[in-house]
Structure 1
């Protein structure tokens, strides 16, 4: 009985975490500064928040030189991912960005086997083709958001790369430590870009509203949500985590419609394409789990 309630509590916490992630896009639309400045502030606040967390927990942040370089360089990909994410929101809508971000499943299904020298499964190819069909449908009906769609797809590609890298690095290092150094890396590389592009000469001063939204984004939507997410993901099955995480665009789109109303109203074609993409993303972990279970049962029968 205690185990049942604990498991359900973890599921609720995971849903809350995914809801917070979905709210990230809302804040990106509400914050008035440019995408590059927004991410610069976000990663700085997130890194400082995690540093406070380490001090509170009295946890060492020491890592080897090789690990530091890995985490720091991965931070560049994380930073680019977020810049593209918020840029996509600013030139299109929250809904467009979140649906195109769902193509992360497609990229991961293709890139992970290539990087780890494994055969690409037939199921992943089918799911990938369905996602492409859905995104193509959106392209056909929402041509005015072309830059937003392309930025969202590039953003998902970056997310796939650092997710694959993190899945390998987390086996030998703390997930929170990895995130801390990735935030520092993202802050450093974005600062370098801003230095050479002249963005430091732009207005970096913030109004009260933007400051509050950025604190919410950096502390709650990044640092706190990450710590919560990692804590419950260790207690739940991979299937539960995958299925729940796929709700991020759904939660985000619902929040966007509730908050922005008419601004987020899209064409019928957009919703058709979104249904195709999200349907494929949701069904993928379910069908994959079924196939893996059947393969295990067949293997057990052969052994007996």
Structure 2
């Protein structure tokens, strides 16, 4: 996204991303002889496609024009914190002390990213930060909706929502034109972003949820900032400020608190799945 966002703009980048993802999932569906009944769950696919794909992808693509990959990855990982906060508002229940501390920790982490060490960030980063936070909020909305949504297989959810996202983003293309024709590096980046980082990633993630359950699958959330910071440093020559590392620690710690994640629970879940197999 960092490589291709400025050249393609948010709309064309995300339309290409979800289209390549949808096509790759279509190939998998054909190979596995899985038929997608899109018309039977059109409303559901469009809701998931909007809040779990199109809108957050567009917001992150907008933010990627300005922010380094490390900051984007940390903002992305606040999705679980947003999910917990929205769940509390949705159910009108009182949060536990653990959840309150986790929410505060997440806010502190984002505040550190936004408010400190601004010399490392270019002009216009404020709006990009807001877009990244709003994108993570969309994931929180989607996760809460999914709890009350029709029971559909994880593969159909991934496949159907990608085609819905294609249709949602399509009308935006005339209003956000391409700024320059993509070169080989940008073209490869977009294809990999769609096929590997979206299509294949959705398959792996939903399979983790089915096999290990949400708590263990959620452990990937804690790896997003680590790899975002690492790849940005190694391949994009991005500086890693002390605020980035400190903000990441607060966000990861807050995510662990609000989700009730623990290594002990994850290992116990893994042992249970292995025993069932």
5 Å-filtered alignment, 1:116-131, equals 116-131=91-106
1:158 to 120, 125, 138: 138
Q: 1:176 to 1:116 in 2, by over 3 A?
A: farther
Query: Normalization by structure 1: what TM-score?
Result: 0.76
Query: Is the contact between residue 106 and residue 124 of structure 1 (CA under 8 Å) also seen in structure 2?
Result: no
- Range 71-80 or range 266-275, more displaced: 266-275
Question: Alpha-carbon deviations, 1:142-194, whole Å to 9, x = none?
Answer: 4443222211111111111122223443x610111112221112111111223
Structure of greater Rg: 1
Q: In the alignment, is residue 235 of structure 1 matched against residue 232 of structure 2?
A: no
Please provide the CA RMSD for this pair: 2.5
Q: 1:42 to 1:133 in 2, by over 3 A?
A: same
Local SS of the residue matching 1:109 = helix
5 Å-filtered alignment, 1:146-295, equals 146-169=126-149, 172-195=151-174, 197=175, 199=176, 202=178, 206-261=182-237, 264-285=238-259
- Range 230-239 or range 46-55, more displaced: 230-239
Aligned to 1:298: none
1:209 CA displacement? 2.8
Query: Normalization by structure 2: what TM-score?
Result: 0.82
Question: Alpha-carbon deviations, 1:102-121, whole Å to 9, x = none?
Answer: 22122111112332454433
Q: Distance in 2 between matches of 1:142 and 1:68?
A: 46
Q: 1:210 to 1:108 in 2, by over 3 A?
A: same
Q: 1:75 to 1:55 in 2, by over 3 A?
A: same
Figure out how many residues of one structure are paired with residues of the other and give that number. Answer: 257
Aligned to 1:75: 49
Query: Is the contact between residue 79 and residue 136 of structure 2 (CA under 8 Å) also seen in structure 1?
Result: yes
1:240 CA displacement? 2.5
Query: Is the contact between residue 239 and residue 289 of structure 1 (CA under 8 Å) also seen in structure 2?
Result: no
Structure 2 unaligned segments of length 5 or more: list them: 266-277
Q: Distance in 2 between matches of 1:122 and 1:112?
A: 15
